[in-house]
Amino acid sequence: MRRRVLGLGAVLITILGAAGCGSSDSGSGGSSASGGGGTTTVKVGIIPIVDVAPLYLGQREGFFSSRGIKLETVSAQGGAAIIPGVVSGQFQFGFSNTTSLMVAQVKGVPVTSVANGAATNGKVGADVTGVAVRKDSTVKSAKDLAGHTVAVNTLQNIGDTTVRESVRRAGGDPAGVKFVEIPFDQMPAALDGGRVDAAWMGEPAQTIAKAQGARIVASPFAETDPKLTVATYFTSTRLAEQKPDLVKRFTEAVTESLRYASAHPDEARQILPTYTRISGDILKNLTLPSWPPQVDMASLEKLASLSEKDGLFGGKKPDLDSLFP
């Protein structure tokens, strides 16, 4: 499994090298001005999940346009595509979980966080992610996960690291958990069909599984740290150096969007069908994350320490102060 993380780093560095050879402004991670009104078109690589709802709310409320930004969101499968896309200049900004950003940095990929993205809501048993088991499972708590197979969406990342911490805190042996990689949207069927003993699910997979009778036995994010910063918006260090005013305006717009979403959770919920297929009872019942305006550095230090223990950094340590300034 360790080779998977090292391989990702090699791919990112290769793309970084290719990006460094470019000389045009559009290829250097800059942005394109549209028309004569001083508006800057900005592409943001995102994953179409619940966590990015504030971005769409901010776009609707004019928080970006009022700062001269025409926002274009581009969907990607995950951080493995978004991080190199930002470094190469395909996107000016991106959304990624914090573990992926740490792994990228220790591999020499020049990225820096510019705004908070999403955090745990801190509610054990009712968090935005949870480990679910079938109704008739003998697993009653995180401690019981040792000796069982648990699905995560990406191996050696924030999912299995925090699941191990839940098992450890419950008095179990995290080394006894076997992780397998399954996309979130396939997890409810995999769990219900007995392909795995448990599954670490985000939304809406978690709500779908519970509707099928699944039980939540652990809340890894909340149990790791009740203020855990899960994801942030980021850019390349090159863009940050070349276009600091653009980065400042984007950061301000995202921060205002986070505050608005936090104050208007019903509006955040209702905007989900505009960029996802979530609707009906699932929309009504799914759990929302927290959207604080600032990252929680203490929680990131804890996450980095756990990730280092899991061998994600290849013996190096991320520079959190430069990655999350």
The tens digit of pLDDT for each residue in 300-322 reads 999 999 999 999 999 999 999 99
CA-closest candidate to residue 293, choices 258, 244, 243? 258
Helix (H, G, I), strand (E, B) or coil at 192: helix
Question: Which conformational region is residue 223 in: left (phi greater than 0), alpha (psi within -120 to 50 degrees), or beta?
Answer: alpha
Question: Higher pLDDT residue, 32 or 59?
Answer: 59
Confidence of residue 38 (pLDDT cuts 50, 70, 90): confident
pLDDT at position 157, please?
93
Q: Is 160 exposed, middle or buried (0-12, 13-18, 19+ CB in 10 A)?
A: buried
pLDDT score of 43 more than 50: yes
The tens digit of pLDDT for each residue in 81-109 reads 899 999 999 999 999 999 999 999 999 99
pLDDT at position 269, please?
97
The tens digit of pLDDT for each residue in 197-253 reads 999 999 999 999 999 999 999 999 999 999 999 999 999 999 999 999 999 999 999
The tens digit of pLDDT for each residue in 69-86 reads 999 999 986 777 899 999
Residue at token pair 């280092």? 308
pLDDT score of 27 more than 50: no
Report the top-level CATH class of 130-224. alpha beta
pLDDT score of 10 more than 80: no
Distances (CA, A) of 58 to 34, 53, 212, 235: 20, 9, 34, 19
- What does the alpha-carbon distance between residue 16 and residue 101 come to, in Å, rounded to a whole number? 14
pLDDT score of 68 more than 80: yes
- What does the alpha-carbon distance between residue 239 and residue 246 come to, in Å, rounded to a whole number? 9
Percent of the residues in the chain that have a pLDDT greater than 70, as a whole number? 88
pLDDT at position 137, please?
98
* 265-283 mean pLDDT: 96
Q: Which CATH superfamily is domain 2-120+228-323 in?
A: Periplasmic binding protein-like II (3.40.190.10)
Question: Higher pLDDT residue, 110 or 2?
Answer: 110
Q: Which residues contact 256 (CB under 8 A, 6 or more apart)?
A: 58, 63
pTM of the model: 0.87
Residues of the chain with CATH 3.40.190.10: 2-120+228-323, 130-224
Query: Which residues is 132 bridged to in the sheet?
Result: 199, 216
pLDDT at position 76, please?
83
Confidence of residue 17 (pLDDT cuts 50, 70, 90): very low
- What does the alpha-carbon distance between residue 207 and residue 282 come to, in Å, rounded to a whole number? 6
pLDDT at position 37, please?
53
The tens digit of pLDDT for each residue in 115-141 reads 999 999 999 999 999 999 999 999 999
* 285-293 mean pLDDT: 97
